[in-house]
Every structure is written in structure tokens, then in C-alpha cells.
Chain A
Amino acid sequence: MAGREGLIDTAVKTANSGYLQRCLTKQLEGVHVSYDNTVRNGDGSLVEFMYGGDSIDVTKQSHLFQFKFFYDNYQTLLQKYSPSRIDYLDAETAISYNKKLKKHHKKEGDLPHWSQSTKYDPTISVYNPAKYLGSVSDKFEDELESFIDNNKSLFVSSKEAKNHGGITQKNFKSLMQLKYMRSLINPGEAVGIIASQSVGEPSTQMTLNTFHFAGHGAANVTLGIPRLREIVMTASASIKTPQMTLPILDDVDEDSAEAFCKSITKITFAEFIDGVTVVETIGGSSSGEGYRSYEVNIKFFDAEDYSNEYDVTKDELSKVITEKFITALEKSIVKEIKKQKRSNASLGDVGKAVPRGQTELASKVSTGVNDDDATDDKLRGNTKQAVSYDGPDDEELETMKNAEKSDDEDMLDDSSDSSSDSESDSETDSNSKITNEAIKQSQKKIASEHLSKKAMTSEAKQRQNEVIDSNKLVSKFNFDDKHGAWCAFELELIGESEKLLMINIVEDVCKETVVREVKNIGRCLYPEPEQGKRVFVTEGVNFPAMWEHDAFIDVNGIRCNDVAAVLKTYGVEAARNTIVNEINNVFGRYAISVSSRHLDLLADYMTREGTYLAFNRQGIDSSTSSFMKMSYETTCSFLTKAVLESDREELESPSASLVIGKLSKVGTGSFDVIANMPNA
């Protein structure tokens, strides 16, 4: 089994990861570093201001911070880089600016970052690092300074250097800055493709299936190639496992942390219920009309148990029942009745065809829908393949739900949203079968007992009247105020209504009625703190709700793995950082480390227009090069679009340059050589 699984994996995953790399490469092929150190697309649009933030070539960065080594080999390096032979080297401007900058920062160093003045921008963004010696990244500058400060004994003063030889601080610093200048990325470098290959190649080493966390408590996240596809290729607005990570403030103790955790978890009504019994009676009322009455008795768990577990009191519970549960129950009963009436009406037409929606639904289910590459559109054309093996996909479930919804709406003429799920149910803790006569009898008694006039106090009576007033079908209602152990009510329907499977309706409504929830948030977990940092992990994303709880959590440190949600709330820069973090996470699980420059470029490219664009057919749509779009996937549709818009193809992207036989603008093609012809 394990051997076979490995073989299947190898056979299947190469296609997936190969497609991922192709999607990345096609869009990033024109991205290159231009002569002003910015990273631009083929047509000149800006992607990054500095490659990787500091314009350093990836291949040259590994030795950049090894100052001791450079100190030991000072003379060799001096010979190698021979600064005297470089023309037009400006060695003063940037250095003096840097000095001013440092003085300014010393003054303002302790102020929080939003109140610091912006008079002095970082050196590297003001002065071109390729031209001005000393224009280096802040991190390099700080590291260099700290090395020099920590090793003052290695350096001599300038007077001594003249007499005895040795290295002064100034010389060393200049050499290091020269080394930085030599490690800059060369203009014209095709950075986009390098980034896409750097991400695509490790993805072939990740196994195809996600592996789940074993054990309880920990949240379930999508991992591996499916997650990478979610982030990069589909850029889906709703991901499968959205999560928020909330850091806990230090002064919060364990108990309050646990209590907070429980308080934001979503609790449905069904979790309180131990059992539900329904007793159905048919009779005739005094006025001669038949009626059908259902006495529902709900038995809860012990009040102490559920208030400890969920921190919900019985008053809250009773409020939930009266306000939400009964109304929801009524609504679904009414819908059921209408559905029955409708199906009764349609029985008369023999030979009426099945509504179109359902046949289409059937045919949709029978074609195997995979994810979103264009081959499926093609495949759907050849229908001679066998019936799909898989159950319906996520997209298919959506379509099925929508189709059902529309059918229901057709039948109901109702604008209420459908609550009927097509999914099978999980275990409930209600014993719903009314099989044994004895039990029936005893429960009949219990229900009627609870609803008898004797059992109700005046408050209860008042509550019952309120409930009866606000709902049409309820005739009696009572709740156990003392122990919070049961609740009973009676519903009356007219006698002509068909038999309803009341217990199923009650079960469904119980599962949906929510006692307490923060919108969009499911469970909240309190995992083991790693490296001393305590965090909460919630399933589901809701930022505004979390901002309310700044007593427990550090609101400024909230992290999320759903890029679209972060984009909506915190803006595009935060979304960009989330993308980088998430991709890093994906690779980190397999102990693969991809340099952050490539991920930065990827994230910057995806957020280049201020939103979250994916590397798929829709994301490529905003590109200016039509040939690139046409050579990517759906040739004819892009072609027709280009023709209808009278598009103008500037032949700047590498794909277009190849089509027409021009030199592409990356690499060697980013410059021209002009020879100085002597006059005759």
C-alpha cells in the first residue's frame, strides 16, 4: 500500500507542480532589473523599487556579512577590487549623507515610528548604490558598524597605518562598501524567471497530498502543493482553512486565556442537547377543525456542565430558544409545508419533463471537474469518457447547492434563504426514533407534564404568551428555570397538512441555531506555546471582532493566513507580506528554504495593481502583451478580445519578441552597443 501510494504520487504530482511552474514563468518572463535598479516588467511598468529591498544579487549575498574573513584577506581583496581603477566613483556624497542620517536617528531613536520625522530617507533610496560608494542598505551598514565597534582592537589609526602599515577603520569600511557595490545585481538580469524557477523546482519535492495534524486540538490547515496553488495560482477569495493567529498579552494568566478562548468559539444549540422527543397527535378541536399537534420536549445536559464548558447560563439559553430557535423552527416548518403543497400540485401532470436545472445538474456531476486549467474546458467537449469517479468537487457542490436553491425558490415563491443542506449529517446526540411504545407514552407524559398549566409560574406564563404572540404555530411553551434541564413546547398545524418528519426538522434547526458566535469564527484553540510565545488560533477570520478584545490579545500582532481578508482590512502592503509569510510556511514544513528575494518578487508582482491577482488566465488579463496571453492558454478567446479592442502589441515581452524575431529586452537585449565611427 505504501509502495503503491508512492508510485501514484510520483506519477501524479509531476503534472501538478509542472503546471504551477508554467503559470509562474509565463507571467514573470519579462520581469527584469533595469538600469535604475528598479525591477520592471517587460513593458516598463514598475514591480519593485529595489530588487529584494537592497539590490543584492542572490548568488553573491552569502558571503556579504563575513567581515572577519574580509579583514583577514584585506590586501587580496584590495587588489581584486582595485578601487583606483574605477572611473567616476563618488566616494563622499553618500557617506556624508549617511553621517547626517545617523546623527538624526540618534536624536530620534527612541520615539515610536509614527512620530519620527521623515526628513532623512534611507541612503540607498536616495542615492543610486551603483554610482555612489557608501550607499548601502541599512542592515549592512548596521552590521558593519557593530563589527567595527566590537573589534576595535583590529584596527589602527591613520597615523600608525602610514608608518607601520595596518588597516584603518575608514579603509576597511570603504572596502566593504565597495564589496557591496560589486555584489549588486546586474541590470538586465531576468529576475522573474529565476524567481519562478526557484519556487517551481522545490515544489516538485513536495508530496501531492496534504498531511494532517494528528491528535486533537490542533487546527487543520491545507499544506503542500494544494496550498501553494491556493495562494499563487487561484488567489481564491475564500480559502479552505482560513485562520487567525492572535498573540496573547503577557499579563494574561492561563485561566483567563482559556476562558477567552471558550468565549469566542462558536456554539450551536445542538451542543447543549442531550435528547429530543417529539410526540405527534391528531385530533379535532372544539370548532370541528382537525388539527395536528406536535409536542417537542428537549432535554439538555446538566446545567453545571454546560455552563462550565461553554460559559453559558440557562437564562441565556432560554433567551436563545425564545428569540432564535422557535422562529427558525417555524420558518423551516412553513417551508416544508409549502414544498409538500407544491409537489402535490405537480403530481397531476403525468409525463412532464424533469425541470431543466436538474438534468443539467446530473450532467455536470457526471463530468469529472478538476481544478482550473483550460484542459477541462476542452475535455468537456469529448463526452465519451466514463462516468466520473470522484464525488462532487467543491465547485460542483456550490453549483448543486445553487441549483437546489433555485429549485426550492421556484417551488416556494419564498425569498427566505434556504437552510436545507444536501450534505449528510454527522453524529447528533439526540435519540430521534420513536420506536418503543413505552417510551412514547412516558415522554408524552413528560411533555404534557411540562406544558401543563400547573407547572408554569407566572413568569413562565408571561413568557409563553410572548412566544405565542410572536410565533404563529406555537400554542404552549415552557422552560425549566430552576435547573435549565429541559424545554418543552407545542406546535399546532391545521389538520389537512401532510405528515411532517418533525424530528428531522428539529434536528436540522438545532444544528443551525447558534447560541453564541463571533461572526465567521468557528473554533478557537489554545495550542502549546512554542518558544514561549502564547497564541490563540481561530478557525475563521473576523478582524473587527478581535479588535474589541485588546485586553487579552495584542491587537497589533494579529496574523492571518487568508490573503484576501488581510487585503480587505489591512491593505495591500499587509497582504503582500502575508503572501510571503504563507509561501515560506508552505516550504518550511518540508524543510525547504527559498530565498526571500524570490518570494518578495512573487508577492510584489501579485499585488502590483493594488489588489490580489493570481497567476492564472484572469490574472494575466491585465498584461499589455497580447502575444504572451495568447501563447499562455486560451488562444482564441484572447485573440478575439485583442482584435475587438483593436489592440496594439508593442512586442516588448519575451514571448512576443520571439514571435516576431526581435531581440528580447531581458539580459543581453537590454542595451545596445554603439561604436564610435572614425570620420573619414
Chain B
Amino acid sequence: MNAPKLTILQEGIEAIATTLIAHITVEDLDFREKAIYIAMMTRRVVMAMHNPKLVDDRDYVGNKRLELAGQLMSLLFEDLFKKFNNDFKANLDKILKKPSRASEFDALLHINIHSNNVTTGLNRAISTGNWSLKRFKMERAGVTHVLSRLSYISALGMMTRISSQFEKSRKVSGPRALQPSQFGMLCTSDTPEGEACGLVKNLALMTHITTDDEEVPIRKLCYMLGAEDISIADSATLHTNGTFGVYLNGTMIATTRFPIQFVAKFRHLRRTGKVSAFVSIYTNVHQSAVHIAADGGRICRPLIIVEDGESRVKAEHLLKLKQGAWGFDDFLINGLVEYLDVNEENDSLIALYEKDIIKATTHLEIEPFTVLGAVAGLIPYPHHNQSPRNTYQCAMGKQAIGAIAYNQFRRIDTLLYLMCYPQQPMVKSKTIELIQYDKLPAGQNATVAVMSYSGYDIEDALVLNKASIDRGYGRCQMLRKNTCVLKRYPNHSKDIVTGMRVNEKGEPIFQHSALGPDGLGEVGMRIQSGQVYVNKCVPTNASEGVVGGQPGINQQQQYREAPMVYRAPEASYVDQVMMSVSDNDQALIKVLLRQTRRPELGDKFSSRHGQKGVCGIIVQQEDMPFNDQGICPDIIMNPHGFPSRMTVGKMLELVSGKAGVLDGTLQYGTCFGGSKLEDMSKILVDKGFNYSGKDMLYSGITGECLQAYIFFGPIYYQKLKHMVLDKMHARARGPRAVLTRQPTEGRSRDGGLRLGEMERDCVIAYGASQLLLERLMLSSDAFDVDVCNTCGLMGYNGWCPSCKSSENITKMTIPYAAKLLFQELISMNIAPRLKLSDVF
């Protein structure tokens, strides 16, 4: 039924009432609130024109809102549900429209057709990450990501990630820069380097993101607190000097003449729990406004309330916390701690430590080290490092190999890296304890000597100790999953798994030597390249039609082998075999293959300070320098990495770690705190070592004392997932791409390396034209064509199809890509004619 047509005037009024500034509802055509809103907007624009400083800063964190999963999912669901309704309705309409209906009408039947729409829609959106909602005209890609399980920290870090909507536009440095308002809310060092630098941010340790709160109770509360409702106030009172407007979520609802008391009373109510803890209130003097924000997506953090120069949190509260009687929520309910969002932080004076509290202080930081996020909390003494080094470590900590989870041996992941002997760091931080990284660590404490040795440690390469590696240093396991589905075919035949084949002596043939009697690889068997680990067989008549076959007769099935063969240079072991059923009732076999890898030349290691390096040489223990007690270093690091990088935190980590080893305690390297250097030096001196961590070492090769004191101690080193075995690649001749007949791309396809444009320029600059010709044509896609002299087009077999003759044909060698180009041009009706002439 169509609604009665409205006149133009009515349509206009309806548009203003509903469509324009839709979030303010208009009841009974009372436009006053909406009119005030529009007037406020205009006023702000005029004020900004007059004083450019009043233009809102788009990068200020207080002006930003974060979209959480719930919001996105609700939008998606709304869109899908409405679509489901529309489809169902359309379906019913189609049926009910017909005048004559043969079968009985059952609506349930038709619901069932569409029953899966919402589920599959949700599934598809989440798995592809494309949120394309027609109703809201939203086309967003990359909303979801697969959680990376490289290590525990990478999973944790991914969950604190905030990705920005700005595309990777190059020139803009505004959103990429570090905002002061980020303090305490977003981690300052944790951002990826490269294209997405500064656009992808991570949450700090204690941040909380608010959700929507009810507006109506807060409105009533404002009126109760003495603010005058805007519908009864007139314009004169609105604009007198000293009247502050009260805005709830950006809409003006009231005015007050006593803003300071109003704000104080509101805060008092919030602290006693009458108003939700996440509602924020702050004053903006330039706009003469008091803003109350109850919307979701604001980022806030908790701070201790300070009253009359004294923090409200006293020793007895902390005692209760220690005993476990009180939790964080108790502090919140009792008004000792409150959540401040970025805008409200502007109104408060926050002291860092209790000793800094002055009369005007309103809040006290709970802990300064919560400025950093979870991933940056791994770094010991980050406040002594140059800031880009902290950023590099935040990127590399997520690639370190370590333990994933407590159930890591039960999981079957596509690719899993595990460390054989992980250790918790000697120098840890409070953050590490809070996130329990010490239960799932990703590295080992290596004894490091900082000296130049062997000359194989140029440009950040490391020298490793062979005996340490033999004893398990840096050893890791790589687990890979291979799936196999036993399909069912429409003609009722299915794949099966057969047993092994035997040779004359009765032994299984080489390819099948790892299989058990059920045709699957035995757990613990070693599988080399070329061996079969699932002996699958495919029926030969799989594509035959169903009709024509008589179900009763048991036909002899013919099978041919389509086994799963292992192809990799290194051997693996079968770790687990799982048999299960997939969702469409097909048998599923998953085989988990495991490889244990020793560190070798080319494997990447890094410390926790952005000092990465590749293993340069593995030296015998006899050749390593040793100290009086006979201790040899596991890793020798080049001292040239320190001066320009300025990572003093690493040096402190070494001293603290050494003191901790001698003392028998784990030390702390918390940001803005941690174990003090004087105490550590004292421990060292007490135990008989040098206060600065330097030792006298003897050379392993000559046996004499080295002429300088060497900085020697334990540092926590991580092994990164870039191992040379995964990257090594060579090709002499190999497969070609079909279309262009040039060598394929990529290591997995045995591809060649590209001689790109800039490399071509370098070869030309040398004047080596023949080399260029060889690289780009002869070794790649040289092709012989017959070119007709008369028409200039290509022919074949000595025959020119356009001239229809065999005379005047010349044989030439051109790149296949050129021949392809000419053919494509010809297909577009452009004739590229080759004019040939003699060279001499």
C-alpha cells in the first residue's frame, strides 16, 4: 500500500524532521532542539572562521572513536537480516501472485530455503574480511585478519591492534605522527615500519574502550543537578556571558550558570556509582560548553583520584588488594579510581608520582610504565634506548619463535614454530609478569661477549658457539599440516586409502617405507623427499554418470593412485595423524609433519633492543675466548652495533642479568623503574666480578689474555622465524610460464630472479649491451619467428598467410613476449609491421 502523496511543503517538513540531522528526533513538530543544533553548528563555523585556532584537530585522539567488533557485527547482521526478510517476502509474493496454485501453500518450506542466508553471509564476511553493506553504502576490505600464531606475543599483540581507515596515502604525515594526546592510551613505540607506519596503532596496557550508555537517565540527571532545560530557556539566557551550555553527546540539552559546581557534582555522582563509570564530563571554555560524553568508542584509562593534595588510595586499601580481598572493581566502586577519557584528561592535573602531588593536582597515575603496550613491555629498560630501536623491537618480538599456548602439542596448525628449550628472560619487566610472558617465553638467555672476533661478524652478523648449538641453543621445531580429503562422488564411489606395495624381497618399496598397514604414515617415522605419507586412491570411473549404473550389482572398482607425496629438501617426521569427518560428511585426514632445525649460517637472531643479526659463522668451543671460570660465550656480538644505535638498555640488561645470575634472582627492567644500576654493580663487586660487567678473557686460539676487558654477560636473545632453509633458492633452468614463456616467479614454483628496470639501467650504464641481450632474451624467452618482408607480419613454417606466398620470408629471433605483443596488437586491429633491411 502506498502512503498518500504529500504536498511539496509537507514533504519538505518531513525531510527536515526526519532526514536532516536525523539523530535529533522531532516530536509534535517541535523543531526547537534541532534548530538550536543547527544554529550551534553555524556558530562554531563562524567562530572558526574568525579564529583559525578553533578549527578542530582531526588527529586529536579525543576527537576519534574506535569501532569495535560488536558495532560492525550488528551492522552486518542488520543488513543480512533485512536482506533475508526482503528475499523471503519477494519469494512469497512470487508465489502468492499466481492466481492458480497447485500445491498447498506452506510458508515454512520457503523459510527453509533462505534459512542459511544469514549464516553464510556472516561466514563469508568474516572469512574474507569484506564488509559490503548495501544499506549503509559501506565497502570496507580488510576488516578481519587471521590471528597470527607465530608466537604468544604475536597473538596478544594482534589483539591490541587498532587499524586506521586511512589508505596508505603517502604524503600525509598528520595521521602518522605521534600525538601527545596518545599518552597512556595508545602505545607510543608499537607501530609497524614501512607503509603502514603510524597508521596502525596498538593499545597501551591499561586502556579501555567504552560502549554506548543510555542517554535518557543522564539527561534527567542533568536537569536534576540544576541545569535549565533548553526548551524552556530563551535566547537571551542562552547567550549571556558566563552561561555554559550542557551538551550530551554533542547535542545541547541544557544550560547552566554554575559550570564548575555542575561538573563537580556530576563527577561526585559518577564516583559513587550513580552514573556509569565510563561517562565523561569536561568543560570547554572557548565554546562555553560542558560536554558530557556517553557514546561508545571512546578510549579511556583509569587514574587514581587525588583529593586535597592526598591520594584517595591509602595503605589499607593496598593491603586489602595484596590479600586478595579487593579487586580492581572494588577500587572503582569505592570511588578511589576512576576512568578518564582523553577530553576529560584535559581538565585534570595528573601527577606522575605521589611526591609530585601539589594542591591543584586532581589525579595520580597508577603506574607510569603503562604508557607502553603489551608488546613494548617486553623490552628491558626501554627508557634508555633510542626510540626507533624500541619500534623495531616491537615488530621483531612478534616474529620470535617460542611457545604458543599451553595446548600447543595438541593443536594442528598450518604452520607452527616451536622452540625446543625456551627460557624465561633473566631481566624481565612488570609487564611481562602481567601478561604472563614468562610462562610462554620466546627466546633463550645467551651468554654474550661483545667483541670483534673472526671477521665474520661484519654488519651485525653474530658468531655462534658450536657446542652451545649441540646442546640445544636456538633449536626449534617447525610443524606443518597437510590435509587430505577423501571425496565422495555423485556415482557413489569414493576415494580410499590403500596399503603399501611390496617388492620381491617382501619389503615395502622406498616410497611406501613410512606407511603403516592402514596406508597412513606411522607416527614417528621419518619421511624423506619423494616418500608417500597418505596413500590415497581415486576411482577411475569417478566422472561417470549415475544413471545407467545398476545399484544392486557390485561392480569391481578400479582405482588409480593419487598419493600425497612429501617434497622438500629436508626430511620430516610424522608427528600426529588425525582422522575426522568434514562438514559435508567426507572423511578428512590431517597429517602433522615435524622438522627440527638447528641454527645454521643465515638464521636470523635478535636481542630485545632492535639489534638483529644473522649467524655469520659457527665456531668450535675450543676456539672461543673463555674467562677464569672457564665460561665461553654462546654468542659473540660485534661492538660496532652500539655507537650509532644507542641502545643503552642492552648494556643495562647485560649488567642486571649478570648480577641476577650470580645472585640467584630474576631482575627487573621495567620502564621508568627497574633494578637500579648501583645495586647491580654492588652485587657484581660482592661476587668478585667487575662493577661494569667487563671480564678478563683469554683467547681461545692463542691462550693469551686478550688485551682489553670484554663486556661479558647474559642477554636474552630471540630466534626469528626467518630461517635460511625457507629462503634458499636456486635455478639453472626450470619451468616457464605458459602465456609469456618466460621463467616462472617465486620460490615455490622454482622461479627465476627478476632483472628489474633499475638493474637493467645499471647494466646499460656499464655499456654491457650484449650481457643485457643475453639476460633478457637468450636466457629467457628467445623465440624464432618467420617474418615476411613484403607485409611485415609474422608467418609460420616459411609461409606468410596474409601474402599467401613463401617468398621473402626471413627467420628472426625475437623475445616471445614481443611476438605475443604483436599478436595482441593484431587482434586489436593494429598492424605492427616489421621492416627488415640488411645490416651491411
Contact = CB atoms under 8 A, between A and B. Distances in A.
A516 to B, nearest CB: 29
A268 interface: no
Contact of B768 (A3, A22, A209, A668): A668
B388 A7 contact: yes
Interface in A536-576: none
Contacts of B764: 29, 190, 193, 654, 664, 666-667
Contacts of B760: 658
Contacts of B797: none
Interface in A172-210: 188-190, 193-194, 196-197, 209
A8 B177 contact: yes
B385 to A, nearest CB: 10
B773 A661 contact: yes
Report, as a range, how many residues of chain B touch the other chain: 35 or more
Contacts of B58: 389
A385 B167 CA distance: 7
Nearest to A648: B835
A672 B770 CA distance: 12
Contacts of B762: 197
Given A3-B391, A11-B197, A386-B165, A659 B765 contact: no
Given A6-B388, A189-B767, A664 B772 contact: yes
A187 to B, nearest CB: 10
Interface stretch (B143-151, B286-294, B421-429, B814-822): B814-822
A1 B178 contact: yes
A194 B166 CA distance: 38
B766 to A, nearest CB: 7
Contacts of B92: none
B761 A29 contact: yes
Given A15-B170, A390-B172, A664-B764, A4 B198 contact: yes
Contacts of A386: 165-167
Contacts of A672: 839
A668 to B, nearest CB: 5
B327 interface: no
Given A193-B765, A386-B167, A664-B772, A7 B391 contact: yes
Interface string B149-166: 000000000000000011
A658 B776 contact: yes
B484 interface: no
B772 A658 contact: yes
A499 interface: no
A188 B8 contact: no
B173 A661 contact: no
Contact of A190 (B194, B388, B767, B821): B767
Contacts, number: 134
Contacts of B175: 389
A386 to B, nearest CB: 5
B777 interface: yes
B171 A390 contact: yes
A352 interface: no
B814 A666 contact: no
Counting chain A CB atoms within 10 Å of each CB, the highest count among B139, B171, B391, B765 belongs to B765
Interface in A652-680: 654, 658-669, 672
B176 A3 contact: no
A194 B765 contact: yes
Contacts of A3: 386-388, 391
A188 B176 CA distance: 48
Given A25-B761, A190-B767, A12 B391 contact: no
A384 B776 CA distance: 39
Given A190-B767, A386-B165, A667-B769, A8 B761 contact: no
A1 B191 CA distance: 13
A388 B172 CA distance: 10
A484 interface: no
Q: Which of A2, A190, A390 has the most CB of B within 10 A?
A: A190
A255 interface: no
A7 B390 CA distance: 12
A661 B768 contact: no
A15 B171 CA distance: 10
B177 A663 contact: no
Nearest to B813: A661
Nearest to B834: A660
Given A350-B12, A370-B170, A389-B174, A11 B767 contact: no
A666 B141 CA distance: 48
B225 interface: no
Interface in B1-48: 8, 12
Contacts of B776: 658
A89 interface: no
14 contacts: A4-B197, A7-B388, A25-B761, A350-B8, A351-B8, A368-B172, A370-B170, A384-B141, A386-B165, A659-B815, A661-B814, A662-B773, A663-B769, A663-B773
Given A4-B176, A193-B764, 6 more contacts: A7-B193, A8-B198, A15-B170, A639-B830, A661-B777, A666-B769
Interface of B: 8, 12, 49, 52, 58, 139, 141, 165-167, 169-178, 191, 193-195, 197-198, 386-388, 391, 757-758, 760-762, 764-770, 772-773, 776-777, 782, 813-815, 818, 821, 830, 839
